[in-house]
Amino acid sequence: MISLQNITKHYPGGIHALNGVSIDIDDGDIFGIIGISGAGKSTLVRCVNLLERPTSGRVIVDGQDVTDLTGAALRAYRRRVAMIFQGFGLLLQKTALDNVCFPFLASKGRITDDDRAKAKELLARVGLADKANSYPSQLSGGQQQRVAIARALACDPEYILCDEATSALDPASTQLILDLLHQINKETGTTILVITHSMDVVERICNNVTVLVHGRVVEQGPVERIFADPQDETTKALLGRVSWNA
Amino acid sequence: MPNLSEFFANYGNLLMQGTIDTLAMVFISSGFAYALGLIVGVVLYVTSPTGHHPMPLFNAVLGWVVNMTRSIPFIILLVALMPFTRALVHTTMGVVGVMPPLVVSATPFVARMIEQSLSEVPHDSIEAAEACGASIPRIVWSALLPEALPSIVRGVSITLISVLGYTAIAGAVGAGGLGDIAIRYGYYRYEDEVMVVTVILLIVLVQIIQSTCDIIASHIDHRKRMHMSHE
Ligand SMILES: Nc1ncnc2c1ncn2[C@@H]1O[C@H](COP(=O)(O)OP(=O)(O)O)[C@@H](O)[C@H]1O
Ligand SMILES: [Mg+2]
């Protein structure tokens, strides 16, 4: 379980990206965090794997306070929490296979034949068995994101963080990626944290959702309830029930 | 205009030796400069305020040292370093005597180019590597440098050509090589043909260096589809 406790994040220049966010994410859940651009979603998810250090507050994972981890302990923790980015984050000079193998390199300093076999299985799993030797520039956006998902799965993560994973993709690729994430969640029980600005994405795969506005949680609960009975104006606007300037 | 075979009978060996000396100075000095400059460039990148291991004060001092060295004209550096050069290689003359100042002069140049190449790598890819749990040395060695390699190779041609220019300056104070020949024969003896030929040789060298680096860089660059020629 990931427990975010009263997380604040201030950037130099008086920017308060997060103002006391508390969220509990149960194991096995697909949990959505939705908000408009600038709401602090990326900052929040980057606090989970500590690419960003919270200014205050605690990140507790399975009862362990990880907020102040450094060095090898931090790197070991990051291997339990994979991340998928809007811009894919692939290494452009490496083949799809080498990208998927990168987490092995990161954890052990070398890539064994077993690792390569596993990476090939993962590429097959995301439907890219024939693209192992392709470079990212030879793949479509949807294919690149699938490589990124295969890479995320390489270390058998307990959690997968998706920061706008489908925002750069066309509807067909979006569907494919969301189905894939759903499938992974069902088969392996991996907890998935989905950051998005799209209620559509939330509706399609999330069980629970949190609405973030100006770095604050304004609404939180099961997706069915939020969709059936939104309370906050931003939630209503995100749902298209009221116009934005209402 | 004396005929060509007569010219080469007289000066062929001289020009051949000059070319070899020049190439030795350029490539050996640049090799050392890259060994050192790569380290300095990576350190500058990693310790910058937005880097993976920010050390603002150290970074500022190192950046200042690099800038200081770069702002000294080569000919002055060459003279100023003579005691150091003599202590290091026991001579300040010839091909060997000019290498220490060439290395000292090229290293900060290389460092800045490496730093520049590294900073062109998309932040996304590097952050993803970090999120995989890679250590800083691992990120540098297995992500940053390979991603920056085509840009670094393009920088190599700039470095080699600059160092080639420095060797010509060094020729003025007895370093040997094509610059030395051009100055001795063209300036002191008014043997214009020799100078013209050295100039042609220098132009050819620059072209070869430039084209070779460009070909290598576009060959190893996988950011564009491979059957496309690079820009
Ligand atoms: N590294 C940073 N430095 C300064 N301000 C930042 C930085 N990252 C994000 N911000 C600011 O924090 C706020 C939240 O940003 P972000 O978390 O990216 O929002 P979202 O992902 O919801 O669009 C924005 O106002 C943004 O400009
Ligand atoms: Mg964002």
Closest Cβ opposite residue A83 in set B131, B134, B221 = B131
Q: What residues in A contact B222, CB-CB < 8 Å?
A: 92-94, 135-137
Q: Which of A221-229's residues contact partners 24+ apart within 8 Å by CB, and which partners? A: A223/A32, A227/A199, A227/A203
Distance CA B66, CA B107 (A): 9
Per-residue burial over A49-68, b if 16 or more Cβ lie within 10 Å, else e, is bbbbebeebebebeeeebbe
Is residue A74 within 8 A of residue B136, CB to CB? The reply is: no
Longest dimension (CA), chain B: 70
Distance CA B181, CA B179 (A): 5
Closest CA relative to residue B43, chosen from B100, B110, B106 = B110
Which residues of chain B have a Cβ shorter than 8 Å from any chain A Cβ? 122, 124-125, 127-135, 138, 142-143, 146-147, 149-150, 220-226
CA distances from B132 to A77, A119, B147 (A): 10, 15, 17
Distance CA A230, CA A207 (A): 15
Is residue B167 within 8 A of residue B26, CB to CB? The reply is: yes
Quick one: which ligand is closest to A36's CA?
A: 1
Is residue A113 within 8 A of residue A141, CB to CB? The reply is: no
Tokens at B58, concatenated: 């150290």
Closest CA relative to residue A201, chosen from A177, A183, A233 = A177
| Contacts of B16 by beta carbon, 8 Å cutoff, 6+ apart | none
- Residue pLDDT tens, chain A, 246 long: 999 999 999 999 999 999 999 999 999 999 999 999 999 999 999 999 999 999 999 999 999 999 999 999 999 999 999 999 999 999 999 999 999 999 999 999 999 999 999 999 999 999 999 999 999 999 999 999 999 999 999 989 999 999 999 999 999 999 999 999 999 999 999 999 999 999 999 999 999 999 999 999 999 999 999 999 999 999 999 998 888 764
Distance CA B147, CA A177 (A): 26
Is residue A21 within 8 A of residue A6, CB to CB? The reply is: yes
Asked if A76 lies within 8 A of B133 by C-beta distance, the reply is yes
| Contacts of B80 by beta carbon, 8 Å cutoff, 6+ apart | B72
- pTM for the full predicted model: 0.91
Distance CA A5, CA B159 (A): 52
Asked if B220 lies within 8 A of A137 by C-beta distance, the reply is no
Q: Residue B211, class by beta-carbon neighbours within 10 Å (0-12 exposed, 13-18 middle, 19+ buried)?
A: exposed
Any idea where the domains of chain B sit in the sequence? Answer: 2-121+131-222
**Domain B2-121+131-222, architecture per CATH:** Orthogonal Bundle (1.10)
The model's pLDDT over B35-93, given as tens digits with 9 standing for 90+, comes to 999 999 999 999 999 999 999 999 999 999 999 999 999 999 999 999 999 999 999 88
Q: Are strands A56-61 and A64-65 parallel, antiparallel or unpaired?
A: antiparallel
Asked if B147 lies within 8 A of A135 by C-beta distance, the reply is no
Q: What residues in B contact A87, CB-CB < 8 Å?
A: 122, 124
3-state class of A120 per DSSP?
Answer: helix
CA of B122 to the centre of ligand 1 (A): 18
| Band of residue B231 on the pLDDT scale cut at 50, 70, 90 | very low
The model's pLDDT over B143-176, given as tens digits with 9 standing for 90+, comes to 999 999 999 999 999 999 999 999 988 887 888 8
